[in-house]
Structure 1
Amino acid sequence: MEQIQVGDSNFCGGGSTRSDGNVLVGASPRLDTLPEDCISMVISHTTPRDACVVASVSKTIKSAAQSDLVWETFIPPEYASLVPRSLNCSSKKEMYLSLADDSVLIDDGKKSFWVEKSSGKKCYMISAMDLTIIWGDSPAYWQWNTVPESKFEKVAELRDVCWFEIRGKISCRMLSKGTHYSVYAVFKRANNRSHGFDHTPIEAGVGFVGKEATKTFVFLEPGGRDPRGGYRNTGVSHAAVSRAFRTRRPWMRMPREEEVEGEKEAGGNVVEEPKERGDGWSEVKLGKFEINDVGCGDGDEIEFTLMETQMGHWKSGLVFQGIEIRPVKEEKVVTK
């Protein structure tokens, strides 16, 4: 939490007032001796985590930290009305926590929204219904099903394609300013089976529309032993995959451990593999981007892609729920 110099002459009028009406500039009264609305105003310029921490200082500060004046500033105004009335929230803090603990559907049920509990940053999942999926309208290649564990009415189940391509966009104005975001594909195997993804790197791209996207490679199956060559996918670098595609060589030999370590030391990015989530789905990181403190223009958008069109073999058996966009944990952000 930002340290506040209570005795600063610019803070709430500056200093304290003596009985004779004169202001003692530079005096340092306790924070909890200030008017409660003044304390609340100060806390409202921090974060939800800070508000919870500072509430332990004293009863007066706790009252100020839990006030509606504080928590209303943490709730994105455009989504305040979306909190279900059935929750009967008695305070703005309860309303905030409901947006942090559970997502709400927006844009006719094609997106879900929530806030990161500790920071109040905006988070989204864009449903498969709101993505551009090549051949997605052809039942021979993709099916649109309802599954109870999905946030959305429909999910996209891959039946069989050799040209695999998914694209999506989101307006920058929907996101939080001054925030580093990561983008994830959220999916699962259909009936615990899939085909054509176990040894196939998928190209992922994330970037601002109209500018060159940052590209990498991901696997949509966890690392395993390749029966053709006996190598594991885990630890394969982006550089190694790029070389394979540039030379159009079959994806048959994985680099040795010393090759992987050498590329890591040279600054190479390791190809991302999927991780299981607590909600029964898997996710794989596609990339990241930053919304600066100024924000974006009206027409600025972030675009993300997931595609494999080089190998030419058939792929099937994955169920896509959507693309999730959430803030990078602040402690992991390195500022040079």
Structure 2
Amino acid sequence: MAERTGVDFSRLPEGCISNVLSLTSPPEVCRFAMVSQVFFSAAASDTVWERFIPSDIDEILLRAVDRIEFSSKRELYFRLCNPILINDGKMSFFLEKSSGKKCYMLSARQLSITWTCTPRYWRWISVDNTRFEEVAELLNVCWLEIRGKLNTRQLSQHTRYAVYLVFNLSKASYGLGHPPQETSVKLGAHVSSHITRLKTPLKTEYSAYGYDYEVVSREDGWMEIELGEFDTECGDDGEVEMKLMEIKGGHWKRCLIVQGIEIRPRK
């Protein structure tokens, strides 16, 4: 670009370069930082990274379980790209690394799970490789229903979000492939619903229902399945409701381990 226009951008004031970089995106800033020492310095400026950090970050950090230490806005941004626990450890918050969009996971303790996890049917356990102190383990039920909700004021505006149930299955899991489950994500008049299965059924168990989404393995060792999607608008303070429930009850099932429901921007 400098050759075509005859402009040496590295001779611009560092503050001017920082202002321009703040109008790009985090990945682009990191690429520009490799152009020259001047760009490297400008790319580290608080002016740049403050643009990518949510305006309500101070309020969010007040809800953090552990104090978040940082020496610059750039350091804070990348610290928040890894989940932090908030709300007494019942939720986690993080930023999507490529955009700075806000993401949340509601822990199992924050959800409504079939009769509020009655000990006869569910139990609370501690496992490795989870964000939360406890997860919910299904012992034995004939009706499965998991619900969650979140006010969209906590999310980024003008963003399409997808909702995922994060779970695992133990070796003794049973009854989670058939019959299928129905999911729904509701915000105002908008409803996104699907038919899904938490476990791939045997060929003899397939029915006319079919299913829309399959289970996906996550890098953290858990699994997830999409429940639906929704869009946020400027100033929208509605409550998004998320649900997974059986289409037809009366079938016993066991050994489902629920970590929570994650809400993150659709890619």
When normalised by structure 2's length, the TM-score is 0.88
Query: Which structure: larger Rg?
Result: 1
Which of 304, 309, 312 is equivalent to 2:242?
304
Aligned residue in 2 for 1:54: 32
Asked if 1:217 is matched to 2:195, the reply is: yes
How many residues are matched?
260
The answer to whether the 8 Å contact 2:185/2:191 transfers is: yes
CA distance in 1, matches of 2:112, 2:93: 20
CA distance in 2, matches of 1:46, 1:287: 30
Q: How far 1:317 moved relative to its partner?
A: 0.9
Q: Deviations over 1:131-166 (max 9, x none)?
A: 111222410011111223221122111111112111
Secondary structure of the residue aligned to 2:173 is coil
The answer to whether the 8 Å contact 1:163/1:309 transfers is: no
Which of 307, 315, 323 is equivalent to 2:253?
315
Structure having the higher strand fraction is: 2
Asked if 1:282 is matched to 2:223, the reply is: yes
Asked if 1:179 is matched to 2:159, the reply is: yes
When normalised by structure 1's length, the TM-score is 0.71
CA distance in 1, matches of 2:183, 2:161: 15
Aligned residue in 1 for 2:78: 97
The answer to whether the 8 Å contact 1:135/1:142 transfers is: no
Secondary structure of the residue aligned to 2:254 is coil
The percentage of aligned residue pairs carrying the same residue is 47
Structure 2: stretches of 5+ with no match in the other structure: none
Secondary structure of the residue aligned to 1:76 is coil
Asked if 1:32 is matched to 2:10, the reply is: yes
Change in Cα spacing, 1:169 to 1:83, as seen in structure 2 (3 Å) is: closer
Secondary structure of the residue aligned to 1:296 is coil
CA distance in 2, matches of 1:96, 1:146: 30
CA distance in 1, matches of 2:67, 2:91: 20
Q: Deviations over 1:211-270 (max 9, x none)?
A: 25221111101x3533x36x6x8xxxxxx52xxxxxxxxxxxx7xxxxxxxxxxxxxxx5
Which of 43, 55, 59 is equivalent to 1:65?
43
Which of 302, 324, 335 is equivalent to 2:262?
324
Secondary structure of the residue aligned to 1:160 is coil
Task: Note the aligned Cα RMSD (angstroms).
Answer: 2.4
Q: How far 1:103 moved relative to its partner?
A: 0.7
Change in Cα spacing, 1:316 to 1:128, as seen in structure 2 (3 Å) is: same
What is the letter of the counterpart of residue 173 of structure 2?
Answer: S
Change in Cα spacing, 1:134 to 1:274, as seen in structure 2 (3 Å) is: same
CA distance in 2, matches of 1:141, 1:281: 22
Secondary structure of the residue aligned to 1:57 is coil
Which of 253, 257, 272 is equivalent to 2:213?
272
Secondary structure of the residue aligned to 2:241 is strand
The answer to whether the 8 Å contact 1:83/1:99 transfers is: no
CA distance in 2, matches of 1:317, 1:85: 35
Asked if 1:74 is matched to 2:52, the reply is: yes
Secondary structure of the residue aligned to 1:62 is helix
Aligned residue in 2 for 1:11: none
Secondary structure of the residue aligned to 1:176 is coil
Task: Indicate the larger mover: 108-117 or 40-49.
Answer: 40-49
Q: How far 1:179 moved relative to its partner?
A: 1.4
Structure 1: stretches of 5+ with no match in the other structure: 4-26, 234-239, 242-253, 255-269, 330-336
